[in-house]
Amino acid sequence: LINNIKNGVLSLFFPTPCASCGRYIKDFTYLYVCPECYGKTQKLEGHLCSVCMKPLQAGYLNRCGDCEREKRHFTCVAPAGVYQGAIKELIHRLKFYNRKKIAALLAEFILENVMDSAVRWADVIVPVPLSKKVLGERGYNQTALIGKILADRYGIEFSEPVRKARETEPQNKLERKERLTNLKGAYKMEEGVSVSGKKVLVVDDVYTTGTTLNEMAIVLIESGAKEVRGIMAARSV
Ligand SMILES: [Zn+2]
Ligand SMILES: [Zn+2]
């Protein structure tokens, strides 16, 4: 009740429209989106690719066309929901509006929607690194914020053994073909860190084509990781 009153009073002075539906938010539990929109986030359901969780039309298939064509260096992924609506808006604000609190919200979203065992599996949790330039502009790595929360919750090691060695074009601005080559060799291991023999869980905000995770997996496996999997707040479908 206290929270409701607080939220009600706050909304009188700071009317904020929900980033997803545009109605004024009365309950700020989910920050920039209203609880109704947050509650409507779709889960990945139905028959899915066993590697990348892409929804599949044909029930007899085990893998999607992408995973058949392109060699996957990661084993599987666990996205918490579909990249749309409230979650899409929250991820967008986390990246571009300097809203660190959203990281905690997205970590909770992952913890609520991904099976415990998907996180417990890991020996070490690793975020997707940003280039120096982007990190400098943004001031924080959003996937590291999420990853740290997950690691702390389960008492798993958190580490940043991979660096982004060069600038790349934003993946979402490229054609599929360009996406595949854009990140080639962009990730390198930091000097003197080891993931040898470890099960590595890579944290990202969104899974789109799998190129980022695949490039990360290549360098991690090369440097001795036993297996690489991915976990993310959402997957585009
Ligand atoms: Zn809404
Ligand atoms: Zn697939």
- 3-state secondary structure string, 122-134? CCEEEECCCCHHH
Q: Contact 176/236 with Cβ under 8 angstroms?
A: no
Tokens describing residue 89: 């808006």
State in Å: Cα 35 to ligand 1 middle.
7
Residue 10 pLDDT class (50, 70, 90 cuts):
low
State in Å: Cα 25 to ligand 2 middle.
37
State in Å: Cα 15 to ligand 1 middle.
13
d(CA 189, CA 164): 9
Tokens describing residue 222: 């090369």
Tens digits of residue pLDDT in 79-111: 999 999 999 999 988 877 756 788 999 999 999
User: What is the rounded average pLDDT of the residues 72-79?
Assistant: 97
State in Å: Cα 169 to ligand 2 middle.
24
State in Å: Cα 5 to ligand 1 middle.
19
Tens digits of residue pLDDT in 57-68: 888 889 999 999
Tens digits of residue pLDDT in 106-138: 999 999 999 999 999 999 999 999 999 989 988
Ligand nearest to the CA of 35: 1
State in Å: Cα 25 to ligand 1 middle.
7
| Residue type for position 190 | E
Ligand nearest to the CA of 24: 1
State in Å: Cα 26 to ligand 1 middle.
10
Least trusted range by pLDDT, from 93-102, 165-174, 224-233 = 93-102
Ligand nearest to the CA of 53: 2
State in Å: Cα 200 to ligand 1 middle.
36
State in Å: Cα 27 to ligand 2 middle.
38
Ligand nearest to the CA of 61: 2
What is the per-residue burial (b if ≥16 Cβ within 10 Å, else e) of 78-96? bbbbbbebbbbbbbbbbbe
What's CA 78's distance to the chain center, in Å?
9
d(CA 184, CA 211): 9
**Ion ligand 2, residue ranges at CB < 5 A:** 49, 51-52, 54, 64, 67
Query: Has residue 9 got a pLDDT over 80?
Result: no
